[in-house]
């Protein structure tokens, strides 16, 4: 039991990793990117291609893929989201949904229906584990992912609160027009925020590929995980996302214990229960649940 | 005096002709199985189902401002309840409609909860509901997980009776659902619906019951999509949860409505027709067809967010199945053409309708 809880918490690290880009983009641009999961899978496929075709191990491959994801994020904001956000709150949903369909099916066209994994390219890391007191075995990879999530969330938090660029992104998220008046280039801030979000997505995609298998249509599931973790974590700091991820993973673990097919059901039910409680105990439902107040100062 | 003041009109000559035309088309469709091959009758049934899906998604998104990516939940449930009812001994054709009523009833409690979410949260929230429902349906022993099951009791009818009955049921359902939607949009609820679409807060401030109106659209859309799911089950007989609860269905709905014209009554029908033709011509190209659908939806949302019909309507002031009012200015020196209100005025009056 203790073992499962530990595994669940570590899995929560992965969910936090994939969720933080989604909630970051939402908190800055008020856009939920429905192509979020598909872009993570795209990154996983890119790493897989580098590893299998050009023999570049995934951890080195990140040096190529992450900058590429940043460029994708920047372009996404400049050419798609910025334009569609002008048409109201509903259009970006449709635009990014269309994008998700294009990415999924392009991947299918290119790579076929086979499920892939990056595990064969990371040597013994995929199965190595440490023994903790109480004969709990924890996978080294799971610990690395969890640590990466904590570092990333902490780094993002520091970046947003301590650097000028981070402050201008926060100012834009509060009120783009007023931010513009005091000399913040809102377009630039948004594009940079999108680029950062996509780097986290790329990293999440890499870990998805290392710890499990993926196929061209795996993006939808990842999007749902990211969304659920972000909403469960809710309106707190970025650390809320980590807690959201852990709660989601523990609920899935519990679900799997109750019924063989209960893993996903457990996660979805936990999400709905949290949503239900949140909606009926506060007025948050009308103001947006994903809203991250990144600056606690005010 | 009366010549100098603007007159308010509901329809135009074109819309009256269109009304007659619609009746003629429906009558023609009703008798056309006489002349069509079996395959063509099946295809037409598919078209009717597409029109239902497009019109219902449009009712929700275009008029209620609620973009859902989880509408496949009602499609799947429509089929699932039909299977369940038929298995319990109800006549299969009757169970198709009882099933849709149940779907409508189920959507009510869901709406209590989901309608408190906004925009993207509502969109993915519905997707989570769809995913969860899919998993729960898989747990039903009768369905045998992803293996699925069939609507076997439909086999007591011979193939041609079955085909014709489903054709007429689909035609009748489509006509009835479109008529309900049309009536709703033309009535006082319609004014409320368009007020909400244009500005929810402003609508609420002048006393429009925002949540109640949205709930009505949500339940109607669920019911309509439930009908479509049940009819789809009747045409294909087999029920595999994966096929019915697939997000692809919502992708199709979005495509049809975006291309046709979101928020216009005629646009959804036009979109369904175009989607049907595209599927007929390019459906065989498999994955490229899907890439094309996604790309088209993307391009339309960026460049032509009003869709084909919305753009035409704006440019030429076309009004076939008019659900709003429009102001016709009296003939005068400032408006020498007199007869036709300019597109700009038409648009303005439509927004205020």
| Nearest CB to A93 within list B120, B135, B293 | B120
A-chain residues within 8 Å CB-CB of B139? 259, 261
Residue numbers in A near B132 (CB within 8 A): 265, 268-269, 272
Q: In angstroms, rounded to a whole number, what is the distance separating the alpha carbons of residues A73 and A200?
A: 10
- In terms of Cα–Cα distance, which of B182, B164, B239 is closest to B51? B182
Q: Which secondary structure element, helix H or strand E, spans residue B59, and what is its range? A: none
Q: Tokens for B303?
A: 């460049």
| Per-residue pLDDT at A42 exceeds 90 | yes
Nearest CA in chain B to A30: B120
**Residue from A97, A255, A279 whose CB has the most chain B CBs within 10 Å, to mutate:** A97
Q: Which among B297, B179, B305 is positioned nearest to A34, based on CA atoms?
A: B297
Domain presence at residue B163: yes
pLDDT of residue A253: 92
Rounded Cα distance between A107 and A249, Å, is 28
Pairing of β A136-139 and β A129-132: antiparallel
How far is the C-alpha of B119 from the C-alpha of A26, rounded, in Å?
Answer: 12
CA distance B76 to B133: 9
The answer to whether B195 and B64 are in contact (CB under 8 A) is no
More confident residue, A132 or B234: B234
> Is the Cβ–Cβ distance between A103 and A35 less than 8 Å?
yes
Q: What is the CATH number of the domain that holds B333?
A: 1.10.3470
The residue that leads in pLDDT, A287 or B283, is B283
Give the nearest partner residue to A224 out of B61, B131, B254, using CB atoms. B131
Among the residue ranges A63-77, B11-25, B133-147, B329-343, the one predicted with the least confidence is: B329-343
Q: Does B24 touch chain A (CB under 8 A)?
A: no
**Distance between CA B197 and CA B218 in Å, rounded?**
14
The answer to whether A100 and A37 are in contact (CB under 8 A) is yes
For residue B58, pLDDT beyond 50: yes
For chain B, the farthest-separated pair of C-alpha atoms sits apart, in whole angstroms, at 75
Domain range for B237: 7-352
Q: What is the mean pLDDT of residues A209-238?
A: 87
- The pLDDT value given to residue B18: 81
Name the least confident of B43-57, B220-234, B243-257, B321-335. Answer: B321-335
Most confident range (mean pLDDT) of B67-71, B112-116, B260-264 is B67-71
Averaged pLDDT, B56-67? 90
Mean pLDDT calculated for residue range A134-161 = 88
Distance between terminal CA atoms of chain B?
24
Integer CA distances (angstroms), A228 to A131, A217, A274, in order: 31, 19, 10
Which residue did the predictor score with more confidence, A253 or A88?
A: A253
Q: Is residue B63 pLDDT above 90, yes or no?
A: no
**Interface contact flag, A92 B120, Cβ < 8 Å:** yes
Is the CB of residue B118 less than 8 Å away from at least one CB of chain A? yes
Q: What is the C-alpha separation between A107 and A65, in angstroms, rounded?
A: 16
CA distance B295 to chain A (A): 6
Interface ipTM above 0.95: no
Domain ranges across chain A? 2-286
Is residue A154 predicted with pLDDT exceeding 70?
A: yes
d(CA B51, CA B254): 12
Is residue B1 predicted with pLDDT exceeding 50?
A: no
- The whole-number pLDDT of residue B353 equals 34
Contact list in A for residue B129 (CB cut-off 8 A) is 272
Give, in degrees to the nearest 5, the angle at Cα A11 between A220 and A4.
Answer: 125
Interchain CB distance below 8 Å, A261 and B135:
yes
Give the least confident one: B23-37, B38-52, B329-343.
B329-343
Average pLDDT over residues B234-243: 90
Task: Give the H or E element holding residue A137.
Answer: strand A136-139
d(CA B344, CA B326): 11
Asked if B305 has any chain A CB less than 8 Å from its own CB, the reply is: yes
Interface contact flag, A290 B247, Cβ < 8 Å: no
Q: Where residue B327 falls among pLDDT bands split at 50, 70, 90?
A: low
- Quick one: average pLDDT of B304-326? 75
Question: Lowest-confidence range among A21-30, B43-52, B96-105, B315-324?
Answer: B315-324
Going by pLDDT thresholds of 50, 70 and 90, the confidence category of residue B347 is: very low
The answer, for B147 touching chain A at a CB cutoff of 8 Å, is: no
Residue A109 pLDDT class (50, 70, 90 cuts): very high
DSSP label at B335?
Answer: B
The pLDDT of residue B205: 85
* pLDDT exceeds 70 at position B352: no
Chain A positions touching B301 (Cβ under 8 A) are 84, 87, 91, 94-95, 98
C-beta of residue A129 within 8 angstroms of C-beta of residue A140: yes
Which of A87, A105, A231 is opposite residue B294, by nearest beta carbon?
A: A105
Mutation target for B interface from A90, A251, A260, A265: give the one with most B CBs within 10 A.
A90
CA gap A180, A165 in Å, rounded: 14
The shortest C-alpha distance from A102 to chain B (Å) reads: 5
- Residues of chain A positioned with their CB less than 8 A from the CB of B112: none
B-chain residue closest to A216, CA distance = B287
Average of pLDDT values for B33-58?
A: 92
Alpha-carbon torsion, ordered A277, A281, A284, A286, to 10 deg = 90
Q: Which CATH number fits domain A2-286: 1.10.10, 1.10.3470, 2.70.70, 2.30.320?
A: 1.10.3470
Q: Which residue of B has its CA nearest to A111?
A: B287
| Average pLDDT of the segment spanning A260-288 | 77
Shortest CA gap A264–chain B (Å): 8
In this predicted structure, which of A191-200, B147-156, B272-281, B330-339 has the lowest mean pLDDT?
B330-339
Is the confidence at residue A203, as pLDDT, over 70?
yes
Distance CA B226, CA B189 (A): 23
The whole-angstrom distance between residue B14's C-alpha and the CA centroid of its chain comes to: 23
Give domain status of residue B2, yes or no: no
Say whether residue A276 is in contact with chain B using an 8 A CB cutoff.
Answer: yes
Instruction: Say if residue A270's pLDDT is above 80.
Output: yes
Facing A285 at nearest CB: one of B116, B254, B288: B116
Asked if A93 and B118 come within 8 Å (Cβ–Cβ), the reply is no
State the DSSP code for B71: T
Give residue B350's pLDDT. 40
For an interface test with B, which of A31, A86, A102 has the most B Cβ atoms less than 10 Å from its Cβ? A102
Best of B124, B145, B306 to disrupt the A interface (most A CBs within 10 Å) is B124
User: What average pLDDT does this structure show over A191-202?
Assistant: 94
**Residue B106 is encoded by which pair of tokens?**
């189920």
Total domains, chain B: 1
- What pLDDT, on the 0 to 100 scale, is given for residue B167? 94
Residue B325 in this model has a pLDDT that exceeds 90 = no
Is the pLDDT at A122 greater than 50, yes or no? yes
Q: How far apart are CA B274 and CA A242, in angstroms?
A: 45
Average pLDDT over residues B244-266: 91
Residue A236 confidence (pLDDT) above 70: no
Considering the entire predicted model, what is its pTM?
0.86
Given an 8 Å threshold on Cβ–Cβ distance, is B297 in contact with A98? yes
Residue ranges of E strands in chain B: 7-9, 149-150, 238-239, 326-328
Return the residue matching tokens 């009882």. B98
Residue B79 and residue B238: Cα distance in Å, rounded? 10
């Amino acid at each position: 039991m203790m073992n499962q809880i530990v595994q669940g918490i570590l899995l929560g690290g992965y969910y936090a990793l994939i969720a933080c880009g989604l909630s970051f983009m939402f908190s800055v641009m008020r856009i939920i990117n429905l192509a979020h999961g598909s872009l993570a899978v795209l990154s996983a496929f890119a790493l897989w291609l580098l590893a299998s075709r050009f023999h570049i191990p995934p951890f080195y491959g990140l040096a190529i893929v992450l900058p590429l994801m940043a460029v994708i994020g920047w372009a996404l904001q400049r050419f798609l989201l910025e334009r569609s956000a002008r048409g109201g709150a509903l259009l970006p949903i449709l635009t990014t949904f269309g994008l998700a369909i294009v990415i999924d099916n392009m991947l299918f066209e290119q790579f076929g229906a086979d499920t892939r994994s990056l595990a064969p390219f990371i040597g013994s890391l995929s199965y190595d584990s440490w023994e903790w007191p109480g004969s709990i075995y924890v996978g080294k990879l799971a610990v690395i992912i969890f640590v990466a999530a904590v570092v990333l969330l902490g780094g993002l938090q520091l970046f947003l609160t301590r650097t000028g660029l981070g402050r201008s992104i926060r100012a834009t998220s509060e009120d783009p027009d007023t931010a513009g008046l005091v000399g913040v280039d809102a377009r630039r801030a948004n594009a940079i925020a999108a680029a950062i979000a996509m780097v986290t997505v790329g990293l999440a995609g890499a870990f998805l590929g290392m710890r499990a298998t993926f196929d061209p249509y795996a993006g939808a599931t990842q999007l749902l995980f990211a969304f659920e973790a972000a909403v469960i974590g809710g309106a707190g700091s970025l650390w809320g996302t980590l807690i959201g991820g852990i709660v989601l993973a523990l609920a899935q673990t519990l679900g799997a214990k109750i019924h063989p097919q209960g893993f996903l059901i457990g996660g979805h039910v936990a999400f709905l229960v949290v949503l239900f409680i949140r909606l009926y105990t506060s007025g948050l439902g009308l103001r947006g649940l994903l809203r991250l107040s990144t600056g606690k100062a005010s | 005096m009366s010549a100098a003041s603007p007159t308010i009109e509901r329809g135009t000559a074109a819309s009256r002709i269109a009304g007659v035309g619609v009746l003629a088309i429906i009558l023609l469709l009703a008798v056309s199985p006489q002349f069509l091959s079996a395959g063509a009758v099946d295809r037409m049934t598919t078209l009717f189902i597409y029109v239902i899906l497009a019109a219902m998604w449009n009712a929700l998104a275009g008029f209620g401002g609620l973009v859902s990516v989880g509408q496949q939940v009602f499609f799947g449930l429509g089929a699932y309840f039909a299977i369940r009812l038929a298995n319990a001994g109800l006549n299969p054709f009757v169970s198709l409609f009882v099933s849709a009523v149940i779907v409508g009833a189920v959507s009510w409690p869901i709406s209590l909860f989901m309608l408190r979410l906004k925009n993207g949260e509502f969109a993915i929230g519905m997707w989570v509901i769809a995913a969860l429902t899919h998993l729960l349906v898989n747990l039903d022993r009768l369905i045998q997980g992803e293996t699925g099951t069939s609507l076997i009791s439909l086999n007591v009818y011979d193939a041609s009776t079955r085909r014709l009955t489903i054709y007429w049921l689909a035609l009748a359902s489509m006509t009835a659902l479109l008529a309900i939607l049309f009536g709703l949009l033309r009535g006082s609820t319609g004014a409320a619906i368009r007020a909400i679409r244009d500005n929810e807060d402003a609508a609420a401030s002048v006393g429009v019951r925002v949540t109640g109106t949205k709930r009505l659209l949500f339940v109607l859309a669920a019911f309509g999509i439930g009908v479509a799911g049940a009819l789809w089950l009747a045409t294909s007989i087999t029920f595999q949860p994966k096929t019915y609860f697939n997000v692809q269905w919502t992708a199709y709905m979005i495509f049809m409505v975006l291309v046709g014209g979101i928020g216009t009554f005629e646009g959804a029908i036009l979109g369904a027709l175009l989607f049907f033709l595209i599927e007929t011509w390019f459906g065989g190209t498999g994955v490229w067809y899907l890439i094309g659908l996604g790309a088209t939806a993307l391009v339309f949302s960026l460049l032509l967010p009003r869709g084909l019909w919305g753009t035409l309507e704006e440019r030429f002031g076309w009004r076939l199945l008019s659900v709003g009012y429009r102001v016709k200015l009296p003939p005068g020196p400032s408006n020498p053409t007199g007869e036709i209100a300019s597109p700009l005025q038409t648009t303005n009056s439509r927004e205020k309708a």
